[in-house]
Amino acid sequence: MKSPSNIMRQSSLTKLGSMINTAVNKRVGNGDIQWCFSQVKGTLEDDVTEADIISCVEFNHDGDLLATGDKGGRVVIFQRDPVSKNSIPRRGEYNVYSTFQSHEPEFDYLKSLEIEEKINKIRWLKRKNPAHFLLSTNDKTIKLWKVSERDKRVEGYNTKEENGTIRDPACITSLRVPTIKPMELMVEASPRRIFANAHTYHINSISVNSDQETYLSADDLRINLWHLEITDQSFNIVDIKPTNMEELTEVITAAEFHPAECNVLVYSSSKGTIRLCDMRSAALCDQHSKLFEEPEDPTNRSFFSEIISSISDVKLSNSGRYMISRDYLSVKVWDLQMETRPIECYPVHEYLRSKLCSLYENDCIFDKFECCWSGNDSAIMTGSYNNFFRVFDRTTKRDLTLEAARDIAKPKTLLKPRKVCTGGKRKKDEISVDCLDFNKKILHTAWHPSENVVAVAATNNLFLFQDKL
């Protein structure tokens, strides 16, 4: 039997990846949400190497680029196809734009620990010039990458040949004016900053501040504040490490800056609480400004209550008024003005409550599902097992279960809602809860910032879905 402290540590440190696919949604007259298959990026093969499993998905601020990271330390950037973007109706199709190795495996000789190359998070900076910038992190090191295009080359140097070799000065008899000539487009990714040696524990979150000058990084027990121009210094703004580690009762699971107020951040814990901190009140934000916690229902108390109440992800809405939190069985919407209880609660896979014992035995109960907002904050998306993902419409209160599967990998295929049967006679198109594949899980999803285009990572495939055309 695992002790409560070990449960907390395992809940925080368990990391699993997933695959990438593309999808889109649409509201029709009766309020239903319909999704149409747009594209799939991946192999759709049964044999999947561990390094190919996708571990994070993130759109940039205008949605023209989509970045994915995998367990092999690679970052793949997809660019929206110009034809699909300008077509009527617009389509959500993306092509590979750039691929580069972000992190390599390392070894900490002082602690005799291997440091995985797996990309835990990717966050884009807002575009200020023709180049794109993004932050990527593994367990210990954060890197700032510059992604730029080059479609011209300079010819006619005086002191070197076209292949770069230096010319013999004795052969230079005249001066030439170098000329600029077009060349095949080349996309270059280069590391501009490396932020290292600031975290004792594994980094689980990074978030760029609205001022676009600073960002935070969070591990299990601390949150640090960085300036994007300074790599050798960071400020510790949250520290929940107890003096005696035997007294450890909770860990930080996710952290994020407010989208508009540069002094406000939130972080969630394995105890099911969310703390809002104001950096103006003190340099060290150990004293939170607000504590969001739902009162526990004594009738639902069980051995697994503490584990399933752990929050795996928290996301502030684009408007900055609300936030969503994802625990094991549900996703909740909170109003930043009300701390006592969530204003909305959506069960994701309540049918698994009776399966918690077996999910505990196979460690699935420690899976960290992410969640995301639609561009206008009217809908929420999160993942489940059997490659199912869930969409909740906050306006109509309708919910939808969809599957990212290889048999729908044809453009404009309309996704059929899936239903899970918990007992009794199974209807057509229903799947029994005992037949769910717990090795197929949608942990990572992303929603286009302004359109109904979503990306769903399923093992090593990226599915893209869009509005019903």
pLDDT in tens, 144-173: 999 999 888 888 888 887 777 888 888 888
Query: Can you give the pLDDT at residue 412?
Result: 78
Query: Can you give the pLDDT at residue 356?
Result: 95
Overall average pLDDT of the 328-339 stretch: 97
Query: Can you give the pLDDT at residue 30?
Result: 31
Give residue 132's pLDDT band: very low, low, confident or very high (50, 70, 90).
Answer: very high
CA angle at residue 436 from 434 to 440, to 5 degrees? 155
Asked whether the beta carbons of 67 and 134 are under 8 A apart, the reply is yes
Query: Can you give the pLDDT at residue 167?
Result: 82
Secondary structure (3-state) at 152: strand
Query: Can you give the pLDDT at residue 300?
Result: 77
Residues 6+ apart with CB under 8 A from 444: 17, 18, 54, 55, 56, 57, 370, 383, 456, 457
- The verdict on residue 12 lying in a domain is no
- Indicate left, alpha or beta for 307 from its phi (over 0: left) and psi (-120 to 50: alpha): alpha
Q: Determine the distance from the C-alpha atom of residue 97 to the mean position of all C-alpha atoms in its chain, rounded to a whole number.
A: 19
pLDDT in tens, 291-308: 999 988 887 788 899 999
Give residue 5's pLDDT band: very low, low, confident or very high (50, 70, 90).
Answer: very low
Overall average pLDDT of the 450-468 stretch: 92
Overall average pLDDT of the 131-142 stretch: 97
Alpha helix (H) ranges present in 121-262? none
Q: How many domains does one find in the chain?
A: 1
Q: Which of 386, 390, 364, 370 is nearest to 315 (CA)?
A: 370
Query: Can you give the pLDDT at residue 8?
Result: 40
pLDDT higher than 80, residue 282: yes
pLDDT higher than 80, residue 431: yes
Query: Can you give the pLDDT at residue 1?
Result: 40
**Residue 362 phi, psi dihedral angles, 5° rounding:** -95, 10
CA angle at residue 367 from 288 to 199, to 5 degrees? 50
- The verdict on residue 1 lying in a domain is no
pLDDT in tens, 28-86: 323 355 888 888 887 656 668 899 999 999 999 999 999 999 999 999 999 999 988 88
Report the run of H or E that residue 82 belongs to, with start and end: helix 82-86
Give residue 203's pLDDT band: very low, low, confident or very high (50, 70, 90).
Answer: very high
pLDDT higher than 60, residue 2: no
Distance CA(447)–CA(381), nearest Å, equals 8
Tell me the β-bridge partners of 393. 379
- The verdict on residue 252 lying in a domain is yes
DSSP string, 177-215: --EEEEEEEEEEEEEEEEE-S--SS---EEEE-TTSSEE
185 versus 60: which is more confidently predicted? Answer: 60
Strands laid side by side in the 74-80 sheet = 54-59, 65-70, 74-80, 94-101
Query: Can you give the pLDDT at residue 269?
Result: 97
Question: CA dihedral defined by 76, 77, 81, 86, rounded to 10 degrees?
Answer: 150
- Indicate left, alpha or beta for 350 from its phi (over 0: left) and psi (-120 to 50: alpha): alpha
Strands 214-218, 205-208: pairing kind: antiparallel
Distance CA(431)–CA(421), nearest Å, equals 6
pLDDT in tens, 357-411: 999 999 999 999 999 999 999 999 999 999 999 999 999 999 999 999 887 777 7
Full residue range of the structural domain in which residue 107 is found: 33-465
Asked whether the beta carbons of 132 and 148 are under 8 A apart, the reply is yes
Mean pLDDT, the chain, whole residue set: 88
Distance CA(405)–CA(140), nearest Å, equals 34
Distance CA(91)–CA(469), nearest Å, equals 8
Q: Determine the distance from the C-alpha atom of residue 325 to the mean position of all C-alpha atoms in its chain, rounded to a whole number.
A: 14
Percent of the chain with pLDDT over 70: 91
pLDDT higher than 50, residue 466: yes
- The verdict on residue 334 lying in a domain is yes
- The verdict on residue 20 lying in a domain is no
- The verdict on residue 206 lying in a domain is yes
Q: Which of 412, 343, 339, 420 is nearest to 380 (CA)?
A: 343
**Residue 74 phi, psi dihedral angles, 5° rounding:** -95, 150
Distance CA(92)–CA(411), nearest Å, equals 11
Strands laid side by side in the 330-335 sheet = 313-316, 322-326, 330-335, 344-347
- The verdict on residue 435 lying in a domain is yes
pLDDT in tens, 214-272: 999 999 999 999 999 999 999 999 999 999 999 999 999 999 999 999 999 999 999 99
Query: Can you give the pLDDT at residue 53?
Result: 95
Which CATH number characterizes residue 358's domain?
2.130.10.10
SS3 content of the chain, % helix, strand, coil (to 5): 10, 40, 45
| pTM listed for this prediction | 0.85
Asked whether the beta carbons of 98 and 77 are under 8 A apart, the reply is yes
Query: Can you give the pLDDT at residue 301?
Result: 82
- For residue 209, the one-letter residue type is N
pLDDT higher than 60, residue 128: yes
